[in-house]
Amino acid sequence: MAPVLGELLTGLIINEAGSGDRVEAFGKSAVVGLDGELEHASALIHTLHFGNHYRSAVNGKSYLAFNNTRGPANAPILIPMMGKNDEGSREHYLTFQFNINDAPFSDEIVIALGAALGGRPHHRIGNRYMDLKELGHDQENPAAV
């Protein structure tokens, strides 16, 4: 089921964006209804059989930022996003929030992809690489443990 959903949702989002090259940031989300298991939602979106359709269509190298939660119908659905080729670039740290009035029903799962065609305007918070340098850490061991 995950590969079919990945292919279907990727086609829809690329159609809306106009092309995969226009997408600069991406993410994914799953919300399971109150009678469902969060692990079922996670199983759908946390497999390369789902996400690689999207990553490939936008020529992205980064992993897809994600959110998976449980909630009733009309629960907030949040899709965190980051740069498709650079997860350390904060200019593309974005969150898309929406809701569906009648979903997820108690035994349903909402699966969604998000895309941004640009970064945050006037971003001023630098990037993770500057933080690592200031802390004397590196990308291989950012927490220096």
Question: What pLDDT digit, counting tens, does each position of 53-104 carry?
Answer: 999 999 999 999 999 999 999 999 999 999 999 988 899 999 999 999 999 9
Question: Is 144 among the domain residues?
Answer: no
Question: Is 53 among the domain residues?
Answer: yes
More confident residue, 144 or 10: 10
pLDDT-wise least confident of 8-22, 35-49, 116-130: 116-130
pTM: 0.90
Question: Is 41 among the domain residues?
Answer: yes
Question: Is 140 among the domain residues?
Answer: no
Mean pLDDT of the chain: 94
Residue 54 is encoded by which pair of tokens?
A: 């999207």
Cα–Cα distances in angstroms (integers) from residue 124 to residues 63, 89, 114, 131, in the given order: 23, 11, 23, 13
Element (H, E) at 77: strand 77-83
Which residue segment(s) compose the domain that 28 sits in? 2-135
- What pLDDT is attached to residue 12? 98
Question: Is 64 among the domain residues?
Answer: yes
Question: Is 143 among the domain residues?
Answer: no
Bridge partners of 100? 103
For the cut 80, the answer to whether the pLDDT of residue 145 exceeds it is no
For the cut 90, the answer to whether the pLDDT of residue 132 exceeds it is no
Question: Is 103 among the domain residues?
Answer: yes
For the cut 90, the answer to whether the pLDDT of residue 114 exceeds it is yes
33 near 107, Cβ under 8 Å?
Answer: yes
Question: Is 99 among the domain residues?
Answer: yes
Nearest to 88 by CA among 128, 131, 29: 128
- What pLDDT is attached to residue 78? 98
Q: Report the percent of the chain where pLDDT is more than 70.
A: 100
Q: Which amino acid is at 11?
A: G
Q: Which CATH number covers residue 10?
A: 3.30.1330.110
Q: How many domains does the chain have?
A: 1
